[in-house]
Amino acid sequence: ASIYPDGFLPQIAPDVTDYALSAGMRWGLGDWDMDASIGFGANEMMFTIQNTLNRSLGPTSKTVFDAGGYDYDQLVFNISGVRGVEVAGLASPLNVAIGLEARRESYSITAGEPDSYRNGGARIPLGQPGCTGPTAAETAAGGCLAASGSQVFLGFSPSAVVDESREAVGAYIDLEANITDKLLASAAIRAEDYSDFGSNVSGKVAGRYDIADGFAIRTSYSTGFRAPSLQQQFFSGTATNFVAGRPFDIFTFPATNPIPTALGGKPLDSEESTNFSVGAVFQFERASLTIDTYRIEIDNRVVLSENLTSAAVRNYLISQGLPGGDGVRFFINGVDTVTKGVDVVFNYPMSFDDGGRLDLTATANFNETVVTRVPATPSLPTLPPQILFDRLNRLTFEQGTPKDKFAVSANWSKGDFGLTARATRYGQVLSPQNAPTVAAPDFLMSSKTLVDLEARYNFGERVKLAIGADNVFDVYPDPLPAGLNTTGATSFSNLSPFGRSGRFVYGRVTVGF
């Protein structure tokens, strides 16, 4: 109270540096058209936590902290070749494409200053905010040990520091040809090898049949593979999460850390998927219409566990030398989902005698996701069973994104001038709770429509200027009810499909050399 007599709202103020460089070349090699490229990209995020304090240091605490940060970089090399091969019996040359990719990824975490993560030992008196559910040991000590580090985002400690990397090599071959004048078929296979996750082979087959002029059907089937990212495998950190309207300091650990292991965590495995689609293409004199249906099955999805915040878990964290923490979470496998949907796209271009052109596009998407398997609740030797994937997570997958989305856009150009107008309607989204109540219910956000505008002008061939605004009419999602915003700091749900930042106005200059 001596530092912030009127209360405070901590702010996470990261400095982000992002850069990329790539180069490539094309050349001929006999009958092959060759293409090679190399690219490097990196992103660094260093955190400053301001308008805050380390409550465990008492009234001498600083109010601004260097909390450390993390960075990720990727180096990718690609080489590919394409050629046509005459094959007897085919209605077109067989198009053959082959390629190789080599990739190196690196991820590291940097520690913050000691005051951003250490615990100074100050206690919160029994019954005061932050000490309303003391453990037996805290009651005997006369108060709860205050949370460690800078409030809202605890600095990265030396124990969180990592410097990890991996390599991956992939190769593919793709074949495509007209079997007959009306039937186009293609097949592809890709093999990958990861330094940390072994090998995988995936493939795809697809076809298109022209039933009549302006009408065709198409279908495809493919398999997919994704190894857990380095971030999912090695991230450690602590942040304030709101659970049922109350702030909790939650530790996030790698699944292989002894604490998650004691709570049911296991080494992460890869995700696998199958994708099937069937569609139709209609071509009219000017307009075109495509309708595609799809079904995507993803097995063993990598997700964050629940925030485990029971008294038993907190006592366990204290026993492991982690005082002041309210709970823990970690990445887990074991969630299977099925997504079914329909995509519709309509295009209508128009050209005018004065040289102007207008392209009209309308799109619609309808989809549904169902969780078909969740991780089993583990039996633990020394702790009560912990539910790792509860109602909130399941409903977030199933109803946390719009089941329908519509968009209409108009793009006009004439000479060096151009205008774009777009309206997008997002369907309803549910923001669920694990244990909904009358005061803190599942919250259904209503449909919203956003409008974007942009104007462009080309100053010759090399300089282009654009000004525009996303969300011109400053639309926000429905505000959360008071029972879900007890601190006044979480006015909108994180599940809003278009964010919660309102209008965004921009200018852009593009210079070509």
pLDDT per residue as tens digits for the range 304-324 = 999 898 888 888 888 887 766
Residue 445 has which token pair?
């956000």
Least confident piece of the model among 102-106, 139-143, 450-454: 139-143
pLDDT at position 128 is 80
pLDDT at position 136 is 77
* pLDDT reading at 439 higher than 90: no
Q: Which residues contact 460 (CB under 8 A, 6 or more apart)?
A: none
Which residue, among 340, 273, 329, has the nearest Cα to 303 in the 3D structure? Answer: 329
pLDDT at position 246 is 67
Q: Which residues contact 313 (CB under 8 A, 6 or more apart)?
A: 263, 327, 328, 383, 386
pLDDT at position 13 is 95
Query: What beta strand segments (E) does 227-311 contain?
Result: 237-243, 246-253, 271-283, 288-304
pLDDT digits (tens, 9 = 90+) for 54-91: 988 999 999 999 999 999 999 999 999 999 999 999 99
Query: What beta strand segments (E) does 355-476 contain?
Result: 357-373, 404-414, 417-426, 429-431, 443-445, 448-459, 463-470
Tell me what the pLDDT averaged over the chain comes to. 93
pLDDT average, residue stretch 485-505: 90
Secondary structure of residue 430 in the 3-state scheme: strand
pLDDT at position 245 is 59
Q: Which residues contact 131 (CB under 8 A, 6 or more apart)?
A: 123, 124, 125, 138, 143, 144
- Its pTM stands at 0.86
Which residue, among 361, 332, 344, has the nearest Cα to 293 in the 3D structure? Answer: 344
CA distance 251 to 305: 12
Which residue, among 326, 183, 366, 345, has the nearest Cα to 241 in the 3D structure? Answer: 326
* pLDDT reading at 30 higher than 70: yes
List C-alpha distances in Å: 267 to 161, 254, 258, 320: 19, 9, 11, 21
C-beta separation of 179 from 91 below 8 A: yes
3-state helix, strand, coil in the chain (%, to 5): 10, 55, 35
Residue 335 has which token pair?
């969630």
pLDDT average, residue stretch 465-481: 96
